[in-house]
Amino acid sequence: MDRSLDEAKENVLKAVEEERSEIPQFIEKIRSCQEESIQFAQEIAENFIDAQKEIINSMQSSLLPYWESVYALFLNGWWFSPRRMIESYATMVSSFAGNTLRATQLVNNNMLANMYAFKRTVEQTKESGNDLARACAILAKKMEKFNKNEDNNILTQERTAENVTTEKT
């Protein structure tokens, strides 16, 4: 029985060493995933900005003169300027691009937080497993002691019964 338990322990050690040997690949995969998500966020933001730049340039070249003349004619330019509207739009585009990058950073931070939470869960599981193993060992010792006491009680009762029987005869 000890031999099979020793084999089980050796198998656990082998599995642990195998898992440890895979840590560098796992770290590389996480790093690669984070770099890709950052790169994708950058590309999304840059593509969005480029598209919006084209829209703004198109608006400035074709519609801005028309808007300025319409607003100058009807509103005397006091309500809001078409140029200001384009500037506000450009600010909104810039904010969107920045928020895309911040969202990617938030996702990466959440991934790390979940990894730390998982690590803590594994630590607590280990502590609970150790407590359970100790409790099982204590129970086994108590059962062994109880059985020895019971065996002693049975022997004592048998001896007492033998003595009573021999005394009667």
Q: What are the pLDDT digits (tens) for 73-86?
A: 565 555 566 677 77
- What one-character DSSP code corresponds to residue 1? -
- The pLDDT assigned to 164 comes to 63
**Mean pLDDT across 158-167:** 67
pLDDT of 68 higher than 80: no
**Mean pLDDT across 120-140:** 92
Share of residues in the chain with pLDDT > 90 (%): 13
With bands split at pLDDT 50, 70 and 90, how would you rate the model's confidence at 44?
confident
- What one-character DSSP code corresponds to residue 77? T
* Domain layout of the chain by residue ranges: 2-168
Helix 82-168 and helix 64-74: axis angle, to 10°?
Answer: 110
Interior/surface letters 84-121, b for 16+ CB within 10 angstroms, e for the rest: eebeeeeeebeeebeebeeebeeebeeeeeeeeeeeee
Q: Measure the CA–CA gap between 35 and 25, rounded to whole angstroms.
A: 15
Span of 40-44, 124-128, 143-147, 155-159 with lowest mean pLDDT: 155-159
The tokens describing 156, both together, are 């004592």
**Mean pLDDT across 76-104:** 76
